[in-house]
Amino acid sequence: MDIIASYGTMLVLIAAAVGFFMAYGIGANDVANAMGTSVGSKALTIKQAILIAMIFEFAGAYLAGGEVTSTIRKGIIDATPFMDIPELMVLGMISALFAAGAWLLLASLLGWPVSTTHSIIGAIIGFALVAVGSEAIQWGKVAGIVGSWIVTPAISGFIAYLIFMSAQKLIFDTSAPLQNAKRYVPVYMALAGFVMALVTIKKGLKHIGINLGTFEGYALAIGIAVIVGVIGKIAIERLKMDPKADKQMQFNNVEKVFAVLMVLTACCMAFAHGSNDVANAIGPLAAVVNIVENDGMIAKKATLAWWILPLGGLGIVAGLAILGKKVIKTIGEGITHLTPSRGFAAELAAASTVVIASGTGLPISTTQTLVGAVLGVGMARGIAALNMGVIRNIVVSWVITLPVGAALAIVIFYILRTAFGV
């Protein structure tokens, strides 16, 4: 308790610095989930993607990042054993942020898309193990996370396969691709509108105090889907396309329509990602600030100080702008060759999986969801269409994220304990 009283301001400043560092890592690594497919399919240039993502990620983080955030990320550890030793919780959360941020930075430099959520969870598990022992860890939730490594990519990959194959059968493999595009693309637009509305409702609105019931949420999403579908129908009917053009020219025109759809879905995914994953950086930071301000009392929920959300949002934007290119290229170009229609199938499948996971309580990584969706699109073209070397590296990076985060956090935790004489 003396540590908190004596070094409270210093601890908050250190936590703010490592919280920004963690947010930087999220921007460098995780934003590729929203923008990788758009860049890989040439719907956007890398500069355009970064600019759009900066706007929507910051908007999501700042506007819908949460008035209140859970003290312990995803309830992965029990705060009770720390009640009498809050200084260990403070040092542990700082260790976790630094460890997770360091791993994300390394993974980003290597171009590996890893889970920011799993990075911070692994780090929190690591410090909790050495601080108070294994009884503080909710092992059932950890098992759920390990299971999600298989379940999440499998679900999104299957959905992406179905969406892509339906577009092939209904539009691209027909004698009149343009004619069929005018008929079916509005349906895909309505489906995208429905899923993206649900993602925003489930992942964004609840953070700004708008809690819609299940019926109201779905009713609103259906209403938005109908409007998007009608607008899409009007817009595509107005497109001047020569129906007598050769098939390749027709394909190119249809792909241009899917490119516009991709940009819209990417904007929605960036907003939803910013609103949801900024908590990986600001949750532990809010916990530290709350404990220091309450003289060592650990609350179940940590009210956010006014400066925490913009700090997280700025960190995400900085990481994306400075170091975001490598992981965006891995997802967009490294796994399989993407066109706008393939990228759209992957993006929509990833968003659909996020909605399914939100409804069922399945622990989810947006990174694994999108990589699984891109794999699903690649599989639709045969195993030869996949870059197995890149996929192997990605899977290895997923498996080692939890233990690496834990090991780094343990080392940093001991260094901090020694430095502060705890």
Determine the residue type at 304. Answer: L
pLDDT for 71 equals: 42
Residues 6+ apart with CB under 8 A from 269: 33, 34, 196, 199, 347, 350, 351
Do 102 and 408 touch, CB atoms closer than 8 A? yes
Which of 69-73, 115-119, 204-208, 353-357 is predicted with the least confidence, judged by mean pLDDT? 69-73
* % residues pLDDT > 90 (the chain): 31
93-113 tens-digit pLDDT: 999 999 999 999 999 999 999
pLDDT for 414 equals: 95
Q: Average pLDDT of 367-382? A: 89
pLDDT for 318 equals: 92
Residues 6+ apart with CB under 8 A from 326: 108, 109, 110, 111
pLDDT for 67 equals: 47
pLDDT for 204 equals: 59
pLDDT for 283 equals: 83
pLDDT for 1 equals: 53
282 has pLDDT over 90: no
Q: Average pLDDT of 301-321? A: 85
Residue 229 CA from chain centroid, whole number? 26
Top pLDDT among 268 and 105 is at 105
Q: Taking all residues of the chain, what is their mean pLDDT, rounded to a whole number?
A: 85
Q: Encode burial over 186-224: b for 16+ CB neighbours within 10 A, e otherwise.
A: bebbbbbbbbbbbbbbbbbbbbeeeeeeeeebeebbeeb
pLDDT for 101 equals: 96
Which two structure tokens, joined as six digits, stand for 207?
């953070």
124-180 tens-digit pLDDT: 999 999 988 888 888 887 887 777 778 889 999 999 999 999 999 998 888 888 888
14-73 tens-digit pLDDT: 999 999 999 999 999 988 878 888 888 888 888 888 898 889 888 878 776 654 455 445
Q: Average pLDDT of 361-387? A: 85
pLDDT for 301 equals: 66
pLDDT for 238 equals: 76
Q: Which of 128, 110, 142, 66 is nearest to 334 (CA)?
A: 110
pLDDT for 75 equals: 67
Determine the residue type at 356. Answer: I
219-233 tens-digit pLDDT: 988 999 999 999 888
pLDDT bracket for residue 206 (50, 70, 90) = low
Residues 6+ apart with CB under 8 A from 204: 60, 63, 64, 271, 272, 275, 276
255-265 tens-digit pLDDT: 888 888 888 88
Which two structure tokens, joined as six digits, stand for 144?
């759920």
* % residues pLDDT > 70 (the chain): 91
415 has pLDDT over 90: yes
What is the span of the domain harbouring residue 259? Answer: 2-420
Structural domains in the chain (count): 1
